[in-house]
Every structure is written in C-alpha cells, then in structure tokens.
Amino acid sequence: MPRPEKVQAVADIKERIEGAQAVFLAEYAGLSVKDQQALRRELRANDAEFKVVKMTLARRAAGDLEIDSLDELLLGPTGLAFADGDPVGAAKVLKDFAKSHDVFVIKGGLLGVDFLSPEKIAELADIEPREVLLAKIAGAMKAPMANLAGLLAALPRNTASVLQQLLEKKEQEPSAVGHQPSAEEELAAADSGDVGTSEGADVQDAPDEPVAQDKTEDQTEANVEASDDADEETEDQADEASEDAEEE
C-alpha cells in the first residue's frame, strides 16, 4: 500500500499539471545550485515555476491523467517547469537558458493537452508575447467594441488553444504563396463574424426587389389608364348615337 506522503505527492503533481497552461520538461544534470536558482527566478518573473520531483511519482501522476506522451521523457534527472501564465514567456526563458547552459536540455512538454517536441517549444518561444498579440488584434479589428471586448475576455481563458493554432500557422507559413493573413488577423476575423467574398458576391448578384416592384406598379397604372380611356371612348360613342336618334 502506498505511503500517504507519496499519495499526496502524486496528487500535488497532478494538480500542478492540470492547473498549468503548459508544462515543460528539461534535463538539468550538472547544473549548479546557483544556476538553478537563477533559472527559478527568471521563471517566477514570467509566472512559471521549476520543480524537481521523483520521476516515479511524476510518471504515476501522468498515468492517472492518461497522459502517455510523457512516459519516455519522465526518466533521469528531469525537472518540470509549470507555466501558470503566458506559456510563451516561460518557453523563452527555457530556450535562452539552454543556449547559455549546455547541460540544460529541453526534452519536451505539454501545451494544454497537446504534446510539444523540443522543436515546437523553440517555435513557441518565438511567438510574440500575449500582450503584443492582444495589441495587434485590437488594432486590426474592425468589429464593434462589444465584439472586441468579447475576444479579449476569451483569449486568456483559451491561451493554450490559441497558441496551438499559432504554432500550426507557423508550420504552414513556409509553403504559403502570396499574402497570407496573420494569425491575429484570422482570430480577429473569426471573432467579428466576417464572411467570405463568395457570400458577398451572392449578395451583390441578387436581384434588386424594390426596382422590380416599381416596374410592376408602373405597368398596373398603365393598364388602368388604358381601361379608363376605353370606357370614356365607349361612353362618347353612346352619347353621339343617342343624339343622332333624337335629331331623327
């Protein structure tokens, strides 16, 4: 039977994984205590935390959460960086730290529930911070302020999903031809409910109903006038015939 302290440790790791926007795994063997402290300070400044836990407990926590993608990474001297805020900031710290410390190796991680390879984490670090993206979206949007407020309110709640879309967008950029809308422009367009040009063409090609209705009314008035003229001519002929009969 597992000891209570181990059960509690597994529960704590599970809670940290579930509550974080992203989790990064890195090998830290050979890193001095001073360097570890420097790394922790930089991560805390970006609303993230670096923890060293027993890999057996970490694997058990991942198993309880049905996260199979981390099994091969939770081996050896591995630390976990939990990004509670913007994952981009934490990824930048880890990437820069790894550049200046050869013994520090980024192994992979999770963005929400999606697995991130070391290459993906490097791409994530190159994305502009959330504040910059928000500013660009705000500047690019043409929608009413109510839609803008809704987008800005939703973005923090769906950070992992939005960043995953931006990563997918970065993968498609090398093969793109001509101008392609930026990720922030696509997000702004999706939130404002803009429609494609084909729909706009359908609307433009639609017949102008008021014009057709005016033509119908004009034709009706012409028919009525012609009928009135015919009635007047018939009455005139009848009057002439009556007058001729009286004279005879």
**Same domain, yes or no: 87 and 139:** no
Same-domain status, 109 and 134: no
CATH number of the domain bearing residue 87: 3.30.70.1730
- Give pTM, 2 decimals: 0.57
- Does residue 51 belong to any structural domain of this protein? yes
- Contacts of residue 161, defined as CB under 8 A and 6 or more positions apart, other chains included, come to 112
Residues 29 and 107 in one domain: yes
Residue 19 and residue 122 in one domain: yes
Q: Is residue 248 part of a domain?
A: no
The answer on 113 and 175 residing in a single domain is: no
Domain of residue 175 covers 130-192
Q: Are residues 111 and 134 in the same domain?
A: no
Q: Are residues 52 and 120 in the same domain?
A: yes
Together in a domain, 24 and 107: yes
Q: What is the pLDDT of residue 202?
A: 44
Same domain, 96 and 25: yes
In a domain, 226, yes or no: no
User: How many domains does the chain fold into?
Assistant: 2
186-222: pLDDT as tens digits: 555 555 444 444 444 444 444 444 444 555 555 555 5
Q: Using one digit for the tens of pLDDT, what is the confidence trace for 135-174?
A: 666 666 555 555 655 655 555 555 666 666 667 766 666 5
Look-up: residue for tokens 């929400």? 112
Could you tell me the end-to-end alpha-carbon distance of the chain, in angstroms, rounded to an integer? 136
The average confidence (pLDDT) of the chain is 75
Residue 143 inside a domain? The answer is: yes
Judged against a pLDDT cut of 90, whether residue 75 lies above it is answered with yes
For residues 86, 89, 91, 94, the Cα torsion angle rounded to the nearest 10 degrees is -140
Q: Are residues 15 and 120 in the same domain?
A: yes
Q: Indicate the pLDDT class of residue 4, thresholds 50, 70 and 90.
A: confident
Is the predicted pLDDT of residue 52 greater than 90, yes or no? yes
Question: Do 38 and 139 fall within a single domain?
Answer: no
Which pLDDT value is given to residue 112?
87
Q: Note the pLDDT tens digit of each residue in 88-143.
A: 999 999 999 999 999 999 999 999 889 999 999 999 999 876 666 666 666 665 55
